[in-house]
A and B are shown apart, each in its own frame.
Chain A
Amino acid sequence: MTVSLELNGPDASRDLIAAASPEHPSLLDPTHRMDALFGVVNIPNVIWIDETGMIVRPPEPGWPDDRMALPDDMLAAIPELGSAPTAPTPPAEGPGQWDVLGSGQARVGYADAIRDWVRNGADSEFALGPDEVVARSQPRSPDASAGAAHFELANALWREGERAEAIAHFNECHRLQPDNWTYKRQAWSLLGRERVGGKYGQFVQAPLKGEESDWPFASDFTSDVLATELGGYYPKTL
């Protein structure tokens, strides 16, 4: 089953779902219920559930194979970007963006782990017991709960056209739950989708070069990735 975490209505996901021609349920999650109910904090995140309805692996990064390639025309469509004026300063000798994005969870072998569980069920070395599932689920403090509440208000206000109020709640959400990348990427993508548009505008998640002062969010994608240690963006769990 796949779930698209996107507040911009069905059309934002429709073409990608059609291209995949899924034979499984392919659903839309405009209010990010997956974050609140399961602790999803990034995409892709994968959850395993057994026949009795018990979670045997909580949300974790996972891929069908080791591909990291972007579409040929994507990078050319992304304009030169700046940084949010209040974004963290990247460490002088820190890893690069692609180093961080490619670190942590191994992409090779994840699908094989699923196949092992399908064959062996609870005897699979990858199936976790209930206590370990809970213990391995994402940390959630009272602040993180407040962050989720701010996100829900921001989401509703944005869809109602109350942009200034929505952005204030997005920023408070990001401050209270800084490790939730879907809350951040969702918000940043809204402006890229509007300001750049086209097939890839939603991937512009930072201010355009020269327009930094017009960026209302506290940070941006590249700045936050560069401030993340290796293995921190897609933590290794297998």
Chain B
Amino acid sequence: MLVDRLDIGPDEFAAGTGWDIKPEGACKGEVCVPLPSGDFDLEAITARLGMAIVADESGGRWAIGPESLGDRALATAETPELVLDDVEGTEFRLSSLRGQKVVIVSWAPY
């Protein structure tokens, strides 16, 4: 996720990463990672989740990389929410297909 400041709060962090901050820790699906007590601390949380923070040296912007827990791309088999537009700009949510089997095919025109 891209941020223009590093003092973001838990709601913005959850919206960008899929990790909710709860009393038991940072949670995604059934997986919860305990966190140090105290206020939301982006640096401590990203370090705990194995998320890199990379600065855009040309301006006040940072990218937060995805988690690297357990050295695997998926921390849980529970499907994360995915919100993308179609070619006409209409928003679509993967969760709207709940109740059906879904096959996602990633492709590219290159």
Interface residues of chain A, those whose CB is within 8 Å of chain B, are 1-6, 10, 12-14, 16-17, 25-29, 33-34, 36-40, 43-56, 58-59, 62, 114, 117-118, 129-131, 133-135, 137-150, 152-153, 156-157, 162, 165, 169, 182, 185-186, 189, 192-193, 202-203, 205
Contact of A53 among B79, B103, B108 (CB under 8 A): B79
Do A139 and B72 touch (CB < 8 A)?
Answer: yes
Chain A CB within 10 Å, residue with most, of B79, B82, B105: B105
Residues of B within 8 A of A54 (CB): 77-79
Do B77 and A1 touch (CB < 8 A)?
Answer: no
Q: What is the chain A residue whose CB lies nearest that of B80?
A: A37
Q: What is the chain A residue whose CB lies nearest that of B102?
A: A49
Residues of A within 8 A of B85 (CB): 27-28
> In the complex, A26 Cα to B67 Cα: how many Å?
27
Q: What is the chain A residue whose CB lies nearest that of B1?
A: A152
Asked if B5 CB lies within 8 Å of chain A CBs, one says: no
Asked if B15 CB lies within 8 Å of chain A CBs, one says: no
A37-B18, A51-B98, A142-B50 are contacts. A29–B84 as well, Cβ < 8 Å?
A: yes
A135 to chain B, nearest CB (A): 7
Do A5 and B108 touch (CB < 8 A)?
Answer: yes
> Per-residue CB proximity of B20-51 to A under 8 Å, as 1/0?
00000000000000000000000000000011
Give the residues from 63 to 110 in chain B that come closer than 8 angstroms, CB to CB, to chain A: 63-68, 70-80, 82, 84-89, 92, 94-95, 97-110
A149-B63, A157-B58 are contacts. A25–B86 as well, Cβ < 8 Å?
A: yes
Contact of A49 among B50, B52, B74, B79 (CB under 8 A): B79
Do A152 and B104 touch (CB < 8 A)?
Answer: no
Do B71 and A139 touch (CB < 8 A)?
Answer: yes
- Which DSSP category, helix, strand, loop or mixed, fits chain B's interface? loop
A130-B76, A140-B72 are contacts. A3–B105 as well, Cβ < 8 Å?
A: yes
A-B complex: 4 closest residue pairs judged by Cβ atoms = A39-B73, A145-B65, A146-B52, A189-B110
Chain B CB within 10 Å, residue with most, of A17, A152, A157: A152
B4 to chain A, nearest CB (A): 11
Range class of the B interface residue count: 35 or more
Do B84 and A148 touch (CB < 8 A)?
Answer: no
Q: What is the chain B residue whose CB lies nearest that of A1?
A: B104
A3 to chain B, nearest CB (A): 5
A28-B85, A37-B66 are contacts. A138–B73 as well, Cβ < 8 Å?
A: yes
Do A10 and B107 touch (CB < 8 A)?
Answer: no
Contact of A134 among B75, B80, B86, B105 (CB under 8 A): B75
A-B contact pairs, 11 of them (CB 8 A): A25-B92, A39-B73, A53-B79, A130-B78, A133-B74, A142-B68, A148-B63, A152-B1, A185-B108, A192-B110, A202-B110
Residues of A within 8 A of B8 (CB): none
Asked if B56 CB lies within 8 Å of chain A CBs, one says: yes
Residues of B within 8 A of A138 (CB): 72-73
Contact of B107 among A4, A14, A141 (CB under 8 A): A4
Residues of B within 8 A of A12 (CB): 109
Q: What is the chain A residue whose CB lies nearest that of B95?
A: A53
Residues of B within 8 A of A186 (CB): 108, 110
Residues of A within 8 A of B89 (CB): 10
